[in-house]
Structure 1
Amino acid sequence: MQAIDVVEEFRGLTWEGPFAPDTIARAGDALEAGKVLFFPDLAFRLRPEEAGFLDDKVSDHSRKNVSFDPLTGQIGATTLAGVEEKKLAAMLDRFGRQARSLLVGLIPAYDIGLERARTSFRPVEIAGRPTSPRHDDRRLHVDAFPSRPMRGKRILRVFSNIAPGDTLRHWEVGEPFADFAKKFLPRLRHPLPGAAWFMERIGLTKGRRSPYDFLMLGLHDQGKLDHTYQREAPRVKLAFPPGSTWIVYTDQVLHAAMSGRFALEQTFHLPNDRLLHPERSPLRVLERLAGRELV
């Protein structure tokens, strides 16, 4: 697998369109085909009063990310308070709004249905961080949410490296989703009857899991816990320099974040029927492999 197979590069773009028709066509096709859209010269600019946030002490280390909820305006897992906390929240909100502008400029069809979820700031170095294999983002995985059933909605993320100096953010990207799913789908156990109802009833999930959610969580866990797969699976190594931005469907692209700090990330959710090519989605791939509807 060569890097050309997993990266689609765009230069000279801004956070807001309009963009050229050929750029729009190339971005939408590449993104939904499972590529990483890479913008090597698209930087998120910090304001002078925000430079002090490039310090891992802004995190309280209770979680791997400092998070901002755009629905409530609340920020969590930070040591900051008062005016400084509000400044950090404003910075994360600005990044989230710019990320949405970039997405709908590149893929106008996403404007209707695109849901902005949490914005994250990741100030802590990845390499060397102690964690269990299931929660280790240095292992190849696809994203799935244990407590929030997606029921076929996509997980789309915009990242930007805002680290000072020359601190790279290193990733690895794995094989196509369909190839990964074919390996692990036969290993997954069917949930017990009534499991989805029970987990919703006692508050373990915010909504009821669909068969799709059970399969995606199973793929996430089994892939991470298979030490042989993690050692031998095909992968491409990527390095994102400071001042660069990248976009990827993390529920489709096997990825591992290996090292780096001071990254911003904005998560979006998108209904499957708003895709340009819904047949390429994890939902449709798994339905074809399972031979049944999953939502």
Structure 2
Amino acid sequence: MEMTTETRVDIVREFPDTTWADDGPTRSVEAVLEDGLVLSFPQLPFVLSEAERKFLDERWADGRAKNISLRWPGGELRGAAGEAGDLAALKAMVTRYAELSEAFALRLFPHYRGTLRRGNTSFRPAQVAGRETSWRKDDTRLHIDAFPSNPMHGTRLLRVFCNVNPHGQPREWRVGEPFPAHARRYLASITRPLPGSAWLMHAMGITKRRRTEYDHVMLQLHDQAKADLAFQRDAPQARVDFAPGTTWVVYSDQVLHAAMGGQHMLEQTFYLDVEQLQRPETSPLRTLERLLNRPLR
């Protein structure tokens, strides 16, 4: 997608860490993350063993899902195909990433200790560029993360990514305008949900739990941005290339992002309630409530 706007977004901050362990230099950077910045660690690779390197191949995905994932707390492996021994080794690799990511996050964000919850861990062996999908699922378009079937009720989405590409290919991202500016752009066109619609969607199994007005607004922000080709082309944005061996951390429900290219990445999701943030007022929930001058329940 050709961009006609000048780059006016500068939200990536680099840190010198070379270890996932607790003796690394960076810690207590909650404020940087909660301000809607991306924390990048260009010298922090997730090192695969020689035996694990064979998993850097799309053939290990079963073709029904774009990602191979571990579902916690049970650690069930989904989306993978192969012999039992290979799948056990693949699961062990992804589990190791989950454990390293969690220890790393708790070093970076000690304020979250005891409240940060581990979500799914995913291994993404597929090439991003050229994937055919609907506009709503097209993650090459700038968006914030929001899920039609999984209402978040304001819970934060903290993600730890690592590019494990063995051929020097970066993970190509675009990042966009701050969340408050993005919300102002579309809020006037977002109507309230129909009375009873949240109950009906839950009763019919469309959503896993009741969709709040917050979830309704976030989905509309997600969809309207992806459908707005002028916005995708002309809005303030910047390209960011995360080289192999780079780890980066972001609140993906707050930072506008788009994955434009790359192959072979690991990702760990964490959940955090708004009240457990160091500064809850920076959250999308509190931001939207201020802009709308009402609670979003």
Q: TM-score range by the shorter chain?
A: over 0.9
- The answer on whether the counterparts of 1:19 and 1:106 sit within 8 Å (CA) in structure 2 is no
2:145 aligned residue:
143
1:114 aligned residue:
116
1:291 aligned residue:
293
Say which SS state the counterpart of residue 231 (structure 2) adopts.
helix
Shift of 1:73: 2.0
1:11 aligned residue:
16
- The answer on whether the counterparts of 2:149 and 2:208 sit within 8 Å (CA) in structure 1 is yes
2:41 aligned residue:
39
1:228 aligned residue:
230
AA at the equivalent of 1:12: D
Is 1:182 the counterpart of 2:184? The answer is yes
AA at the equivalent of 2:180: A
C-alpha distance after superposition, 1:17-70 (max 9, x if no partner): 2455xx424x21211111110000001111222111001111123222111112
1:272 aligned residue:
274
1:263 aligned residue:
265
CA distance in 1, matches of 2:121, 2:196: 33
Alignment of 1:239-258 (within 5 A): 239-258=241-260
CA distance in 2, matches of 1:144, 1:253: 12
Say which SS state the counterpart of residue 24 (structure 1) adopts.
coil
Alignment of 1:33-182 (within 5 A): 33-182=35-184
Cα 1:44–1:19 change in 2 (3 A) is closer
Say which SS state the counterpart of residue 61 (structure 1) adopts.
coil
CA distance in 2, matches of 1:186, 1:122: 37
CA distance in 2, matches of 1:238, 1:111: 30
CA distance in 2, matches of 1:279, 1:89: 38
Q: Which has the higher helix share?
A: 1
AA at the equivalent of 1:147: S
C-alpha distance after superposition, 1:254-289 (max 9, x if no partner): 000000000000111100011111111100110011
Number of residues paired by the alignment? Answer: 291
Shift of 1:209: 1.2
CA distance in 1, matches of 2:117, 2:178: 25
2:3 aligned residue:
none
Say which SS state the counterpart of residue 211 (structure 2) adopts.
coil
CA distance in 2, matches of 1:221, 1:50: 38
- The answer on whether the counterparts of 2:17 and 2:24 sit within 8 Å (CA) in structure 1 is no
CA distance in 1, matches of 2:24, 2:112: 15
Say which SS state the counterpart of residue 197 (structure 1) adopts.
helix
CA distance in 1, matches of 2:24, 2:125: 32
- The answer on whether the counterparts of 2:30 and 2:111 sit within 8 Å (CA) in structure 1 is no
C-alpha distance after superposition, 1:63-113 (max 9, x if no partner): 221111122221112222411111111111110111111110011111121
CA distance in 1, matches of 2:260, 2:216: 27
AA at the equivalent of 2:247: T
Aligned-residue RMSD, C-alpha: 1.3
Say which SS state the counterpart of residue 113 (structure 1) adopts.
coil
CA distance in 1, matches of 2:59, 2:215: 35
Shift of 1:189: 2.3
- The answer on whether the counterparts of 2:46 and 2:164 sit within 8 Å (CA) in structure 1 is yes
Structure 2 gap segments, 5+ residues each? 1-6
AA at the equivalent of 2:17: G
Shift of 1:248: 0.3
Say which SS state the counterpart of residue 133 (structure 1) adopts.
coil
